[in-house]
Amino acid sequence: MKLLSIVLVILVSYDQIAVAYRILGIFPLHGPSHWVMMQPLMKGLAQRGHQVDVVSHFPQKKLIPNYTDISLVGSIPEVRNNVSASEVSLFGKFSMKYLTQMAGNNICELLGHPTLQNLIKNPPQDPPYDLVITEVFMAPCYLAFGRLLKVPMVGIITTSFHDWLNEVTGNPFNPAFIPNMFSTFEQNMDFKERLINFLMMNMISIQIHYYTSFQIEYVKKYFGIEDTSIRELYSDISLFLVNSHPALHGIRPYTPAIIEVGGLHIEDDGELSPEVQKWLDESKDGCVYFTFGSMVRIESFPKELMETFYTSFKKIAPVRVLMKVARKEDLLPGLPDNVMTQSWFPQVTVLKHKNIRAFITHGGLMGTQEAISYEIPMVGIPLFGDQRVNIQSYVKKKVAISLNSISDVTEEKLTSALNTILKDPIYRENAQKLSRLFLDRPMSALDTAIYWVEYAAKYGNFLQSPAVRFSWWQRRLLDVYAFLLFVVSAVLLAALFILRKIKRLLFGLRVYAKDSTVIKSKKNK
């Protein structure tokens, strides 16, 4: 029996090696909240036996077999624990032009970095790459790697599927029941909401395609690829992995090339320190976890707001609070006794703890998915981006209470929200139901993602919609409608012409007959 087990292990290992691919991961965006989805996928592929080379700002601290870092550290300012309250207010006012500049053109500039230029000009050949995986957001200039290396591409989307990608990927979409990603509408929209949704979806898509179209200059400059456009580069993507799920984002039509893997990033992220473990274990009346994510520094907010937090936390005692602050030395004095602060917590491990009762969050999709996975109801204080939309969707599912924005937070509202979440069992019960819907799958999100990545490496663009090869007017059948209109118009005109001829003929015969009768009458006289 032992010998048989050894043989099976050898056979499985041999099979993995026999079908192993060399994969290039390109992740130039320096946002840690985006990286948390990329990292487990690339590590999972390496563990599966594939050789992965990963370009990112987040090199691994420990060596991982089959995993090679191509580091961009220091090429762009650090944002982890480095976004202040004043910068948050700027993010909340951004336009599409600003967004595509900040997360698009600025990132495309990195293509001139020596590390990336060496990869572009001297890609490995022994063995060469079989597949490229990259994030699809505001820097489509990086899609040129697929064309340069002549291999299939997998695009990763850290939110729900972007509205502006439907057109360039041939994915069917209908603004009548699919809310755009920046709206808080439900899928059952009335006329006014459908009108607003239609206008928003199209205006945002037009702006983003317009502003990102200029990135073709980076493609020409750094890749030497001519005679193409940004829109054409999208057609090189064989597969999309999307951080969404019907339980959270509703039922949507997708082509087979769009795979929902919401929650792919959720995994144990470390052990609790003895201090935090003891604090949570002794929180018999429950504990609230409070963080504004990996970038925003809570301690940088105004004194009045911090005092509001302190007062509310003191009022919910003996319930305890874990609060993430980047720099304790900048924290306002007077922290209540029932609050513990740290510069970092292993978030998943914290949310898994049996004594966590509520989560105060800015509404980032990654963190809220983690909370749903572990049945934790939320108090939302959205700051920017898609956070307000995320929180509102949870409010409608009655697993969260929203305070709308940071400027709306008062001691009375926050205390009331916390007490409601902590004491009303309906929020916990709804979170449990939503968690079951979210997690009940035939395979884990990570295994699903790895399966389809390997599928794309094997079969390339097989799953890609044929609609990507059609013009926008062909996709909407405008040429067909125009032809049918022409045919109907031609038939009607022909019928009208014939009727007029018949009328004239009949009218002419009557006149002729009448004239003949008159002439005969005169002759008879």
Residue 22 — left, alpha, or beta (φ > 0 → left; ψ -120 to 50 → alpha)?
beta
Is pLDDT at 233 greater than 70 in this prediction? yes
Q: Where does residue 296 rank: exposed (0-12), middle (13-18), buried (19+ CB within 10 A)?
A: buried
DSSP 8-state symbol, 491: H
Whether pTM exceeds 0.85: yes
- Cα atoms found within 13 Å of the Cα of residue 441, Cβ hemisphere only: 19
Write the pLDDT tens digit of every residue in 53-109: 999 999 999 999 999 999 999 999 888 777 777 777 766 666 899 899 999 999 999
DSSP codes of every residue in 68-79: EEEE-TTSS---
Residue 94: predicted pLDDT: 67
DSSP 8-state symbol, 126: S
Q: Are β-strands 400-402 and 378-380 bridged in parallel, bridged antiparallel, or unpaired?
A: parallel
DSSP 8-state symbol, 465: -
3-state SS assignment for residue 323: strand
Is pLDDT at 193 greater than 60 in this prediction? yes
Residue 246: predicted pLDDT: 96
Cα separation, 202 vs 174, whole angstroms: 11
**Tokens representing residue 28 in the block:** 């130039």
Measured CA distances, 240 to 84, 206, 395, 441 (Å): 33, 21, 29, 19
Write the pLDDT tens digit of every residue in 278-326: 999 999 999 999 999 888 889 989 999 999 999 999 999 999 999 999 8
Write the pLDDT tens digit of every residue in 351-393: 999 999 999 999 999 999 999 999 999 999 999 888 999 999 9
DSSP 8-state symbol, 267: S
pLDDT band at 15 (very low <50, low <70, confident <90, very high): very low
- Hey, what amino acid is at 11? L
Residue 422: predicted pLDDT: 97
Write the pLDDT tens digit of every residue in 120-178: 999 999 999 999 999 999 999 999 999 999 999 999 999 999 999 999 999 998 999 99
Measured CA distances, 81 to 101, 195, 306, 310, 496 (Å): 22, 40, 17, 21, 75
